[in-house]
Structure 1
Amino acid sequence: MAEAIQLEHTDPNAVALDQIDVSRPELMQSDTHWGYFARLRAEDPVHYCADSFFGPYWSITKFNDIMEIEKDHQTFSSNESITLAERPADFETTNFIAMDPPKHDVQRKTVQGVVAPMNLAKLEGTIRERAQKILDSVPVGETFDWVDHVSIELTTQMLATIFDFPFEDRRKLTYWSDMATSGELAGGPTPEPVRRAALLECLDYFTRLKEQRLQEEPKPDLLSMLAHGKDTQNIPPMEFLGNLILLIVGGNDTTRNSISGGVLALNQNPAEYDKLRNNLSLIPSMVSEIIRYQTPLAYMRRTATKDVEFRGKQIRKGDKLAMWYVSGNRDGEAIENPDSFIIDRKTPRHHLSFGFGVHRCMGNRLAEMQLRVLWEEIMQRFRMIEVVGDVERVQSSFVRGYAHMPVRVHPH
């Protein structure tokens, strides 16, 4: 690990271009990845890394190039995997985001109803009630962990609701989500046997719940939709598990890291915090800016289905490409002042955090609504949520997340 620590503090401009490997998890864990991406955008926006923990791969780092690849799923397929890590042959989970049309479309359609506008409108009251309860329970005048007490708790409660999952067991969802994204094969700290055991526990628990749902009338929750949907009710167990993990991580991990990331961004930009206090109508645009600035999932992978030339580079059939949303969201050619956190941008939803094209995030409106409602409730109670110690980030190059964030709240 000594070598990694040393690398992470290297000046990005001192490293030979062909030696840059932005997939190293310690770069994001130490928040030192920005300079490497800035250099790739400027000097080699379609960059080949010949040797990494994940094997050779291409980095796509500019906004419009990422959009181009997202649009062409015939040439750049999701089928192999959405992360740079290969799926182990003896434990292969697949899901609809790691599929191409037409199979992707029918499975996605089965569960899409849970975030239909009518269901979202019903959910808003529940989210508000829960946010109020959580915020009213924070220890005023004491230091506490914002990640655990607020970010995880709110998103886990919400996830339990949309799955109609036993509420008293809801932290299992958090645990399974963390296990799914922190495996050592993906550059995380969790040993593979521990990850597998956790995911099999998840499969076992949900299989029992699914059997119960099949005895009941169809309801508008995610699990009932999967159980009764004609295109998903008979999928093999590992595909069922893959879709569960996709929905659990998508419904929890990304939103919770934006909830934490927003608090940090406002602390680092006090003038924006003042702007917010003086004008609460900025909350919706601030939410979009938080999601851009945080970029909770750093990249998505595609695999070339044939030899292709892209921006003058020869990409071979079978090559892996990482579309680095975290870099595209800081591309000055697509976004004005991209490194600045500006809560009243003219076009705040112009970002890549939700992806683009057929794989655009299904729950994007739910995520925005959770953040909006939470910030409306925060601003009614607290003049400031102050970050009072070192922030600990997770070890991953895929999830840009927070493990701990010590804060104190200051009421009005």
Structure 2
Amino acid sequence: MADGAMKLADEARARAYSMPLDEFHPGDPELFRTDTHWPFFERLRREDPVHWCRDSEFGPYWSVTRYNDIMAVDTNHQVFSSAAALGGITIRDVRPDLRRPSFIAMDPPRHDVQRKTVSPVVSPANLQVLEPLIRERAGRILDALPVGETFDWVDAVSIELTTQMLATLFDYPFERRRELTHWSDVATAIPMPGGLVETEDAKQAELMECLASFTELWNQRVNAPPAGDLISMLAHGEATRNMTPDEYLGNVILLIVGGNDTTRNSISGGVLALNQNPDQYGKLRANPALIPSMVSEIIRWQTPLAHMRRTALEDVEVGGKTIKKGDKVVMWYVSGNRDDDVIAEPNRFIIDRERPRQHLSFGFGIHRCVGNRLAELQLKIVWEEILKRFSFVEVMGEPRRVRSSFVKGYETLPVRLHAR
């Protein structure tokens, strides 16, 4: 850790343990941009694991910070709703007129039938079909990288690999694939001066461009025989073919963000974690058979989506606290993944953990990430191909992190490659 990052971490720890708990706002995006959220969640897990924040830029909300309490909320969709009409799945409330349903922001039965419509694209049989394609592309991307020069890993590798995959899943025009990256970033961006989008209106205008592009593709696919891409599945699916434009856009954004942000930030996060833990990098080089277990550990360590939000449909007790009907409840996966009551030595990055898949990063219950196996497959392949080509992917400076308490990711990560 560089001196500047170390100083920030020390200051954050001092602040987290001196500030009164009733002043905590763990969802502050600035804590995530500076990577200083850790001591705040550590203290909450110990002293106030189900915590009420009475005031923030996102309004009042509950934070659920321990592994088992998060599981209890995540697997109880009868009481904790994901419905867009109630606020959806993120800490940030969307204006009521802009709340778009998508199957992740729905409760059963609508959730179940819509999710089932797209799930064949990530079936084991389809993953077998996709594997050689992912490997070929990963190899091509890695072979084009400059050895011995500093470049941005996020743009050259993480974004490029995941965006090529997304374009394939949607059968989106390949030469325009970076539009998907852009819309993913826009969809999750918090409007602010100097940001990717400055106002909510500017954000919505960009998303309308996304809808126009995908509507054109819908119109082509709905008039063609059913095919194996996501747009064709939605256009021909019994539960989805009569969606409103708003609902279509909601599902498209869900599939773009789900297929892009999580894998892309885990690819970057894995490089950073191995550099911060050189003993584990040595272990990996000595034994590439550890890659599958390492992939799960990267996904736990990174937790690419820091939280999911629910809305209470009735008064309910969690962790000894009474949550009232209508309250916003935030499940902090990023905190549950560091809960030492459940995970041994959770603050250590250990690529040969005994139970590496024991993490919350994909969620649990009916909303467990539909593409989790595809994400793992992409990470597995990219690391197999990296090890064939390079002795070391060296991080050359601090990453620039996304200013978001939802997407836990990287804007840039400077690296230099060492040839084998």
Q: Do these two structures clear the TM 0.5 threshold for a shared fold by scoring above it? A: yes
Q: Is the 8 A contact 2:13 2:40 kept in 1?
A: no
1:180 maps to 2:180: no
- Looking at structure 2, the residues matched to 250 and 138 of structure 1 have their Cα atoms a distance apart, in angstroms, of 26
> What is the TM-score of this pair, normalised by structure 2?
0.95
SS at match of 1:184: coil
Partner of 1:216: 224
Which residue number in structure 1 is paired with residue 385 of structure 2?
Answer: 377
- The alignment's TM-score, normalised by the length of structure 1, stands at 0.97
Partner of 1:139: 146
Specify the SS of the correspondent of 1:309: strand
| One-letter amino acid of the counterpart of residue 215, structure 2 | T
Displacement of 1:310 in angstroms is: 1.9
1:390 and 2:398 matched: yes
Structure 1 unaligned spans of 5+ = none
In structure 1, distance between residues paired with 2:201 and 2:319: 41
Taking only aligned residues, the RMSD between alpha carbons, in angstroms, comes to: 1.7
> Which secondary structure state, in structure 1, belongs to the residue aligned with residue 408 of structure 2?
coil
The CA distance in 2 between the partners of 1:391 and 1:66, in whole Å, is 29
Alignment-derived partner of residue 91 in structure 1 = 98
Deviations 1:289-324 (CA, angstroms, capped at 9, x unpaired): 000000000000010001122222111100001000
CA contact (8 A) 2:69 2:318 kept: no
CA contact (8 A) 1:128 1:374 kept: yes
**One of 60, 63, 70 as aligned partner of 1:66:** 70
Instruction: Report the AA paired with residue 319 of structure 2.
Output: R
Distance 2:419 2:385 in 1: 12
What amino acid sits opposite 1:279 in the alignment? Answer: N
Hey, what's the Cα distance between the residues in 2 that align with 1:22 and 1:118?
41
- One-letter code of the match for 2:151? F
- Per-residue Cα deviation, 1:348-373 (whole angstroms, up to 9, x for no partner): 00000000010000000000000000
- Looking at structure 1, the residues matched to 14 and 330 of structure 2 have their Cα atoms a distance apart, in angstroms, of 23
Aligned to 1:76: 80
Alignment of 1:192-341 (within 5 A): 192-341=200-349
Tell me how far 1:198 sits from its aligned partner.
Answer: 1.1
Q: 1-side partners of 2:75 and 2:44: how far apart?
A: 22
Q: Distance in 2 between matches of 1:269 and 1:333?
A: 23
Moved over 3 A (4+): 7-10
Q: Which runs of 5+ in 2 are unaligned?
A: 1-8
**Alignment partner of 1:395: what SS?**
coil
Q: Which amino acid aligns with 1:36?
A: F
Give me the whole-angstrom Cα distance separating, in 2, the residues matched to 1:346 and 1:22.
Answer: 30
2:34 aligned partner: 30
Whole-Å separation in 1 of the counterparts to 2:345 and 2:319 = 25
1:50: Cα distance to partner? 0.2
CA distance in 1, matches of 2:206, 2:391: 40
Q: Following TM superposition, by how much is the alpha carbon of 1:190 offset from its aligned partner in structure 2, in angstroms?
A: 2.4
What's the CA shift for 1:183?
2.6
Partners of 2:13 and 2:39 within 8 A in 1: no
Give, in whole Å, the separation in 1 of the partners of 2:12 and 2:402: 15
Determine the C-alpha separation between the residues in 2 that align with 1:61 and 1:55.
Answer: 18
Query: 2:3 — aligned with what?
Result: none
Relative distance call for 1:189 and 1:161 in structure 2 (3 A) is: closer
The C-alpha deviation readout for 1:366-404, integer Å capped at 9, x for no partner, is 000000000000000001000001210011000000000
C-alpha deviations, 1:64-101, integer Å up to 9, x for none?
Answer: 10001111111111112000111212222121001111
Equivalent residue letter for 1:373 = I
2:123 alignment partner in structure 1: 116
Q: Distance in 1 between matches of 2:114 and 2:12?
A: 41
Q: Is the 8 A contact 1:8 1:26 kept in 2?
A: no
Give the stretch that moved more between structures: 312-321 or 290-299: 312-321
Q: Is the 8 A contact 1:306 1:316 kept in 2?
A: yes
Contact 1:87–1:93 at 8 Å: present in 2 too?
Answer: no
